Amino acid sequence: MRIDEDMREVFEEMEEEEKLEGGRCRHVQGEAKPHSISCHMDTGDWDILCKGCAEKRTRPPYYTIPLERFFVSNFETVDWIAHLSEKRWFVPKKFIGLFRNLRGLGGRV
Ligand SMILES: [Zn+2]
């Protein structure tokens, strides 16, 4: 059945999206430029995504912020952190883990 096959492909693609190695999409895991940070609002886990993957996570349960907005100025970064820390789903330890992950990308961030 053609429709079943198509659906299977869609589901496989969705599953693949969820399985992020080390909190990075497979494209960023490769050579793609990191574009956004994205939090799972149900767990507080953060991922680093390329532009294409970030565009698929613009709504809950994801909270996605383009890096160029997060780091646009010193004040904006301070404001983002203060803002995020007020969210119910914010887990400080996981947020710090995100920065370790970003550091691991070196000059690509
Ligand atoms: Zn990606």
pTM for this entry: 0.82
Q: Where are the domains of the chain?
A: 20-108
Is the confidence at residue 3, as pLDDT, over 70?
A: no
DSSP letter (8 states) at residue 63: E
pLDDT at 14: 56
pLDDT band at 2 (very low <50, low <70, confident <90, very high): low
**Model confidence over 42-97: pLDDT tens digits?**
999 999 999 999 999 999 999 999 999 999 999 999 999 999 999 999 999 999 99
What's the gap in Å between 24 CA and the centre of ligand 1? 8
User: 6: Cβ–Cβ under 8 A, 6 or more apart, which residues?
Assistant: none
Residues with CB under 5 A from ligand 1 (ion): 25, 27, 50, 53
Structural tokens at position 49: 């995504």
Peptide bond before residue 34 is cis, with ω within 30 degrees of 0:
no
